Amino acid sequence: MASYKVRDNIYSVGAVDWGVRNFHGYEVPRGTTYNAYLIIDEKITLIDTVKAPFNDELIANISEIVDPRKIDYIISNHTEPDHSGTLPYLSEFIPNAKIYCTAAANKELKAIYAQDFNTVVVKPGETLNTGKYTFRFVPMPMVHWPDSMSTYLEEEKILFSNDALGQHIASEEKYDDELGRELFFERSGDYYANIVLPFGKQVTKLLADISALDINLVCPAHGVMLRGYIGEAVQKYSDWATDVTDDKSAVVIYDTMWGATAKHAKKIADRWRAEGLKVEEISLKDKHHSYAIAKLLDAKYIAVGSSTLNRNMLPSVAAFLTYMKGLRPQKRVGLAFGIYGWSGEAPDQIEAIFNELNFEILPKEKFNWNS
Ligand code: FEO
């Protein structure tokens, strides 16, 4: 992509990754972006960088606006390599540029890249003045790494929110209201479910921290910028962080060997529909576990089914449940099911994981063949 002027003196200079479909195990069907922002003032500031293979794109985009060697400050909001991947190169290219980051990020950068950086460690609420602009640092530990931080540009009322409020989508559109509400919140929810879900308490703290800020634009590190749906997105984050779900929404997630467990999945789904629920049936043969977890985000009811194979659940179901256990959804109602030939351990194993997550448990549905 080329650089994009967000406002006078403020540019988006990151990279668009149209082709990526697997993001560290998370399926991203519409690609993603690695957003970086350049702010021109008496001192020139770059906020975040890009994944290493996109280094040339970042440098080319910056060069459309200013000689990259003139950058004075880099604000590194997060050290995960999709945002810090270019820092080793930039540290050689512009060694005098100071890198502003949290104490945790300072430690992480050294560990990830096995080198020292020209860092300045910042504390919550500290500011950086670049001339007419003031950047206020708002650390957000565990949203979603220990080092994570957002940065507020006071004079422009812009929150550079890094991973928070991001979405994995590559698009020609630059803003939430250009994508449209349905697609924007579909990608936002998918992102939250797969990346942010275990950190509800930390998200709630971040929302409290930014509630005092007057924000008219959110510039995240992935996806489009938020200007039209900021209030709704904050409300969604608040709901997702506290496991508010839709009492009328359910998912039935399963895999099957010879079709009997699939047939039973349909029976459960149809029964729930007859009871007034909106139900999505998800076969793990057809859909990735990251799709299934995104559909669980708003659903109160979750049925998980598996045939029994060699005294275990099927590997696809085990993968989904391992993933779900790590993401720790709460306050759900779970139903384990499965059709078996002779031993039938799978539904018990599924229910054990529901118990670990403190789900309310519905009676297990475990049958021998068609009985
Ligand atoms: Fe987009 Fe946590 O990196």
- 176-197 pLDDT, tens digit each: 999 999 999 999 999 999 999 9
Q: Which atom of ligand 1 is found nearest the CA of 144?
A: 2
Q: Is the pLDDT of residue 371 over 80?
A: no
C-alpha span between 165 and 230 (Å, rounded) = 9
Q: What percent of the chain is predicted at pLDDT more than 70?
A: 99
Nearest CA to ligand 1 atom 1: 163
Residue 83 appears among annotated catalytic residues: no
Q: For residues 39 and 12, what is the distance between their CA atoms, to the nearest angstrom?
A: 9
Indicate if 288 belongs to the active site.
no
What's the rounded Cα separation, in Å, for the pair 155 and 132?
8
Specify the pairing of strand 360-361 against strand 365-368.
unpaired
pLDDT digits (tens, 9 = 90+) for 42-97: 999 999 999 999 999 999 999 999 999 999 999 999 999 999 999 999 999 999 99
Q: How far apart are CA 251 and CA 231, in angstroms?
A: 28
List the catalytic residue out of 17, 41, 108, 163: 163
Task: Tell me the mean pLDDT in the region 273-297.
Answer: 98
pLDDT digits (tens, 9 = 90+) for 336-355: 999 999 999 999 999 999 99
Asked whether 245 and 286 are in contact (CB, 8 A), the reply is no
Give the pLDDT confidence of 130-148 residue by residue, as tens digits.
999 999 999 999 999 999 9
Measured distance CA(337)–CA(217) in Å, rounded:
46
167: left (phi over 0), alpha (psi -120 to 50) or beta: beta
Q: DSSP class of residue 364?
A: P
Mean pLDDT of the chain: 97
Residue 122's alpha-carbon distances to 87, 119, 189, 350, in angstroms, are: 18, 9, 31, 45
What's the pLDDT at 1? 65
Catalytic residue among 24, 56, 64, 275: 24
Domain 246-368 has CATH 3.30.365.10: no
Residue nearest to atom 3 of ligand 1 (CA): 80
- Note if 176 is an active site residue: no
Q: Is 144 a catalytic residue?
A: yes
Q: Does the structure show a pLDDT above 90 at 38?
A: yes
pTM, 2 dp: 0.96
Question: Cα(240)–Cα(179) distance, rounded to whole angstroms?
Answer: 21
Taking a C-beta distance cutoff of 8 angstroms, is the pair 156, 134 a contact?
no
Ligand 1: centre distance to CA 82 (Å)? 6
- Residue 220 confidence class, pLDDT cut points 50, 70, 90: very high
Give span(s): CATH 3.60.15.10, the chain.
4-241
Measured from the Cα of 195, ligand 1's closest atom is 2
163 residue type, one letter:
D
Residue 288 CA to ligand 1 center (angstroms) comes to 20
Q: Which numbered atom of ligand 1 lies nearest the CA of 162?
A: 1
Catalytic residue of the set 144, 168, 264, 288? 144
The pLDDT value recorded for residue 113 is: 98
Mean pLDDT of 112-123: 97
168 a catalytic residue:
no
- CATH of 4-241, picked from 2.60.200.20, 3.60.15.10, 3.30.1540.10, 3.40.50.10090, is 3.60.15.10
Buried b (16+ CB within 10 A) or exposed e, 20-51: beebeebbbebbbbbbbbbbbbebbbbbbbbb
What is the Å distance from ligand 1's center to 235 Cα?
22
Residues of the chain with CATH 3.40.50.360: 246-368
pLDDT band with cut points at 50, 70 and 90 for residue 12: very high
Q: Which of 168, 222, 288, 289 is catalytic?
A: 222
Q: Is pLDDT above 90 for 370? A: no
- Nearest C-alpha to atom 2 of ligand 1 is from which residue? 80
User: Which residues does a 6 A CB cutoff place in the pocket of ligand 1?
Assistant: 78, 80, 82-83, 144-145, 163, 221-222
| 307 Ramachandran zone, left/alpha/beta (phi>0; psi -120 to 50) | beta
Task: Give the pLDDT confidence score for residue 179 in this predicted structure.
Answer: 98
Instruction: Judge whether 247 counts as a catalytic residue.
Output: no
- Counting residues of the chain whose pLDDT is more than 90, the rounded percentage is 99
